[in-house]
Amino acid sequence: EAQVTQNPRYLITVTGKKLTVTCSQNMNHEYMSWYRQDPGLGLRQIYYSMNVEVTDKGDVPEGYKVSRKEKRNFPLILESPSPNQTSLYFCASSRTGTGGNTIYFGEGSWLTVV
Amino acid sequence: AQSVTQLGSHVSVSEGALVLLRCNYSSSVPPYLFWYVQYPNQGLQLLLKYTTGATLVKGINGFEAEFKKSETSFHLTKPSAHMSDAAEYFCAVTANQAGTALIFGKGTTLSVSS
């Protein structure tokens, strides 16, 4: 079954404690991306990757890091989380880019920073 | 640059009534357009998409949308609402097949009353 798997699904953490949200896809997709969803703001892109070792900033990259060492994995790293990073995070993947191909989303990771 | 405006953050209809969710976009290049649905505590599910060709696009669950270039619109409709349609709906645009980001609207919450 085609899947984008995110972990953890729910996390409460404290300000400044580094955390990683993992994302893995089993479809051999080249494109992967992270979005955050906030009430009244819709989804905004944090980072994306067009292939292994190729990453770039989206609209709201501040406070986040990513890496793409393997094709299937695209972890999101919060080096020093702050309360304004409390949000719902989605990982997405597709074969090539965001246009004609189906984009698959993970189920989301609820992150609360206190 | 691209952008999406969803008119109305909340729409309420009665069961059996017409559903109309409005989406206008701005794009300097021919757009690819999408509608996604998010049920409570779930991820994003693709309802339908427009890439090229026929401007009336049919999707899942009885939804359809019409691409109107002259009006820069991609409104979502369903002839008869069901209680199960209650969810949040997002319109999104991207530039082309190799696009790097989906640009989302802020979302419209659809409520259906019996």
Percentage, residues of chain B above pLDDT 70: 98
* B28-76 per-position pLDDT tens digit: 888 899 999 999 888 899 999 998 889 999 999 999 999 999 999 999 9
The whole-number pLDDT of residue A70 equals 97
A100 or B22, which is more confident: B22
- With CA atoms as reference, the chain B residue closest to A99 would be B97
For residues B95 and B105, is the Cβ–Cβ distance under 8 A? no
- Are B98 and A42 in contact (CB < 8 Å)? no
The whole-number pLDDT of residue B113 equals 96
Q: Go through chain B and tell me how many residues it has.
A: 114
The whole-number pLDDT of residue B97 equals 64
Which of A90, A96, A102 has the CB atom closest to B46's CB atom? A102
Structure tokens at A63: 């406070």
DSSP state of B60: G
CA distance B36 to A98: 14
CB distance from B3 to chain A under 8 Å?
no
Q: Chain A: nearest CA to B6, how far in angstroms?
A: 10
pLDDT tier at B2 (50, 70, 90 boundaries)? confident
Radius of gyration of chain A (CA): 13
The whole-number pLDDT of residue B96 equals 65
The whole-number pLDDT of residue B11 equals 98
Interface test with B, best of A35, A43, A93 (most B CBs within 10 A): A43
CA distance A34 to B3: 18
Could you tell me which of B75, B11, B87 has the C-alpha nearest to residue B43? B87
Within chain A, what is the greatest distance between any pair of CA atoms?
40
The whole-number pLDDT of residue B81 equals 97
Structure tokens at A20: 């990683």
Residues of chain A found within 8 Å of residue B90, distances taken between Cβ atoms: 42-43
CA distance A44 to B53: 28
Q: CA torsion sign, A38 to A40 to A42 to A45?
A: negative
Radius of gyration of chain B (CA): 13
DSSP state of A18: -
Over range B66-89, report the average pLDDT: 96
Which of A40, A103, A108 has the CB atom closest to B102's CB atom? A103
- 114 residues of chain A, pLDDT tens digit each: 889 999 999 999 999 999 999 999 999 999 999 999 999 899 999 999 999 999 999 999 999 999 999 999 999 999 999 999 999 999 999 988 777 678 899 999 999 999
- Are A100 and B101 in contact (CB < 8 Å)? no
- Are B51 and A44 in contact (CB < 8 Å)? no
